[in-house]
Structure 1
Amino acid sequence: MLTLVLGGAASGKSEYAEALVLRCGLPRYYLATMQVWDAECAARVEKHRKMRAAKQFETLECPLHLETVHLPRRGTALLEDLGNLTANELYDPAGAGDAAAEHILQGLESLAAQCENLIVVSNEVFSGGADYAGDTDRYLLALARVNNALAARADAVVRVVCGVPVYYKGVEK
């Protein structure tokens, strides 16, 4: 089953997605997309790893090239989040650049084939306005392409607003 969980900043989307994973059996994988740039980032990553380990998650770092991820065995995977992954693929010199959306979608297909359940967290786009500075439009369009394609493919699409899940496709399990 493929579930897309959307929401704005601090909407509760990550907590909701994690709760969905915890309803599933083991193994549980957490696919972390944050790039570690400095000591502060490293400390944050370590804190989150410890929190997830207590919930029996195995963390796999995948800030780039999702298509190269191979899960040790079938189970439930939580990818957190498409916003980071899209930015990494667009702007990191080792990323896919303008082909970011296509590469991410290929990676998601590969990952979905390895899982019983894949739960993907992403950010809402275009709800905050339409006049952005610099290269932001390029990022938003790439993320929107991924979100739209993934929503079409997903068994369930849920938007979390103020901690409340609203299903647009599928039903809460």
Structure 2
Amino acid sequence: MSKSILVTGGARSGKSAFAEGLVEAMGPQAVYVATAEAQDAEMAARIEAHRARRGDGWTTREAPLDLVGALDATDGAPRLVDCLTLWLSNLIFAERDWEVEGRALVEAVPRQSAPVVFVTNEVGSGIVPENALARAYRDAAGQLNQMIAAAVDDVYLTVSGIPVRVKPNDNAI
């Protein structure tokens, strides 16, 4: 099984459940690196639903901003990072340079000795957002996803709960 994997797809496409299964197959002592923060009741309910689905076999490490630090601190166990697009929005709202942070994450991927699976949202497949902040976020998410996709061993796209492997592409030109 690959050392580093990116799982992408639309909202409610089955990304997280698929990624959880990948990490569970990688060995015991799985670590869930959570980038979400429960800032309202809806997000708190989503976080709780994810926790309930995973069960007690997981250790949770919260990393709304310091994702590289969390990966380095938990190396040794298979990790699931859920999700990069929430991490990106946290960085943007904290007025941190997401490109610098993204490059640091890209540099951290190959130095991990234990497997890591990243979950992200594919946000650029819809309409062009109406406002400048939403367009900037969409563009940043697309760029970050490309950076991480280039750094990992495998990429999966989930569509209606079905994972489709899109990297490595054995038919590359």
TM-score, shorter chain, exceeding 0.5: yes
What's the counterpart of residue 65 of structure 1? 66
1:22-74: CA deviation from partner (whole Å, max 9, x where unpaired): 111122110001122245544653554454342x1110000112122243451
What's the counterpart of residue 125 of structure 1? 123
| 1:170 aligns to 2:172 (yes or no) | no
CA RMSD of aligned residues (A): 2.2
Q: Percent identity, aligned pairs only? A: 33
Alignment CA distance shift 1:118-1:91 (3 Å): same
CA–CA distance in structure 1, aligned partners of residues 103 and 65 of structure 2:
13
Segment drifting more, 111-120 vs 122-131:
111-120
CA–CA distance in structure 1, aligned partners of residues 109 and 136 of structure 2:
25
Q: Number of matched residues?
A: 166
Alignment CA distance shift 1:46-1:165 (3 Å): closer
Describe the SS at the equivalent of 2:132. coil
What's the counterpart of residue 80 of structure 2? 78
Which runs of structure 2 are paired with 1:21-32 in the superposition (5 Å)?
A: 21-32=23-34
Alignment CA distance shift 1:110-1:136 (3 Å): same
Which runs of structure 2 are paired with 1:1-173 in the superposition (5 Å)?
A: 1-38=3-40, 41-42=43-44, 44-46=46-48, 48-54=50-56, 56-69=57-70, 70-92=72-94, 95-96=95-96, 99-110=97-108, 113-170=111-168
1:90-149: CA deviation from partner (whole Å, max 9, x where unpaired): 012xx51xx213203413533652342110000112100224323011111211111001
After TM superposition, the score normalised by the length of structure 2 is: 0.84
- The gaps in structure 2 that reach 5 residues or longer are none
Segment drifting more, 153-162 vs 36-45:
36-45
Alignment CA distance shift 1:113-1:8 (3 Å): same
CA contact (8 A) 2:31 2:78 kept: yes
CA contact (8 A) 1:67 1:108 kept: no
- The gaps in structure 1 that reach 5 residues or longer are none
